[in-house]
Amino acid sequence: MTLKREVLYQKWRPRKFADVVGQDHITLTLKNSLMRDKYAHAYLFTGPRGTGKTSTARILAKALNTERDSEGEPLLDTEISLDIDSGKFLDLIEIDAASNRRIDDIRSLLENVQFMPSKGKYKVYIIDEVHMLTNEAFNALLKTLEEPPPQVIMILATTEIQKLPETIVSRCQRYDFRNVSDADIVSRLRHISDSETISCDDDLLWFIAQNSSGSLRDACNLLEQLSVAFDDLSIENARSLFGIMDENISLEIFNNILKNDQENLIVLLQDLRVKGVDFRMLSSSIIDALRLGVFTSNGIITLEGYSKDHLQVVKKTFEGIPSKKLLSILEKLLSLISIRTESFDVLLESALIHLSYIFDVNNKK
């Protein structure tokens, strides 16, 4: 006998529209269209990874094929809903275009579209990462989008809509998913951690949210990894496990820069290199410190997700530096880290050392 174990993000995958976090502008529109029996023949879900595109597509497939309540939500205890949740519903066909991108794959997928659904009202096709299809595959798909059988609904999902042909985009009803806010991620993680008896404080959940780039799936994975690796769930352990920079390192770098202390700055940077610190990650931490410096220099003393103590340290670090100058440096560093080069470590080092010469005793304005 084999035992199936679900990871957290799969176990807590949304089963109805109300469970989808941070996408109310989409779920409300879909529920309204369902209540009014006004469906599109093709939907395009686009947005960053881990924001609920595929989950929403499955919920939509569920709502189209089973009974719904007065608010447009699918009833979860019906046979069709249970089959979709368990991956057994024959009229829901899902493919990953990253591994099924050729024209033959799409032809094979669409060769049965003319047949009626075996159990539900509609045959729903979900094509994930649709931007990975070849041009020939897009052309094969286009014919079905141009002349869709009435019993077929297509749902395309992508993280890179700019790679889709305009002929495909224009034939779909488009929905843009947004990054999930840190507050929404923390709220969801708190619900999950309480339900899973994972003991952690809100400071840790905020830390996880801030390092998930708006992806709830990534946040769930970080929380699960941390709970498996340590009995004591703390920010320090999270930094150690995920290789996340301590924000105080960035402030220490800026202290050396503002003091015009090239020697200690170079020693610190070399020490970080010896320790194997990822300089791309270091650059992100430096950017965040500068961003907070701009905020605090403009009178911001409270900010969601940051402790007052940390903001006070940031304020003290950049005290006396005009906000306009910090903003100019921030813009230049943002331009710098976007450069693709194998020598990024050297590039960042030279930029920071150069910066230290700007902030001499007589030139802080």
What is the three-state SS of the chain? Answer: CCCCCCCHHHHCCCCCHHHCCCCHHHHHHHHHHHHCCCCCCEEEEECCCCCCHHHHHHHHHHHHHCCECCCCCECCCCHHHHHHHCCCCCCEEEEECCCCCCHHHHHHHHCCCCCCCCCCCCEEEEEECHHHCCHHHHHHHHHHHHCCCCCEEEEEEECCHHHCCHHHHCCCEEEECCCCCHHHHHHHHHHHHHHCCCCCCHHHHHHHHHCCCCCHHHHHHHHHHHHHHCCCCCHHHHHHHHCCCCHHHHHHHHHHHHCCCHHHHHHHHHHHHHCCCCHHHHHHHHHHHHHHHHHHHCCCCCECCECHHHHHHHHHHCCCCCHHHHHHHHHHHHHHHCCCCCCHHHHHHHHHHHHHHHCCCCCCC
| pLDDT of 1 | 42
Q: Which residues contact 228 (CB under 8 A, 6 or more apart)?
A: none
pLDDT of residue 176: 97
Cβ atoms 311, 239 nearer than 8 A: no
Both tokens assigned to 85: 């949740």
Domains and CATH numbers, the chain: 8-176 (3.40.50.300), 182-242 (1.10.8), 247-358 (1.20.272.10)
Nearest CA-CA partner of 324 in 351, 301, 290, 352: 290
The two tokens of residue 90 are 């024959």
In tens digits, the chain (365 residues) has pLDDT values of 445 567 888 899 999 999 999 999 999 999 999 999 998 999 999 999 999 999 999 999 999 999 999 999 999 999 999 999 998 999 998 988 888 777 777 777 777 777 888 888 999 999 999 999 888 888 888 888 888 888 999 999 999 999 999 999 999 999 999 999 999 999 999 999 999 999 998 889 998 998 888 999 999 999 999 999 998 898 888 988 887 777 789 999 999 988 888 999 999 999 988 888 888 888 888 998 999 999 998 888 888 777 788 889 999 999 888 888 888 888 888 887 788 888 888 989 988 988 888 766 445 44
Pair of tokens at residue 242: 């995920």
Residues 86, 108, 115: CA angle, nearest 5 degrees: 70
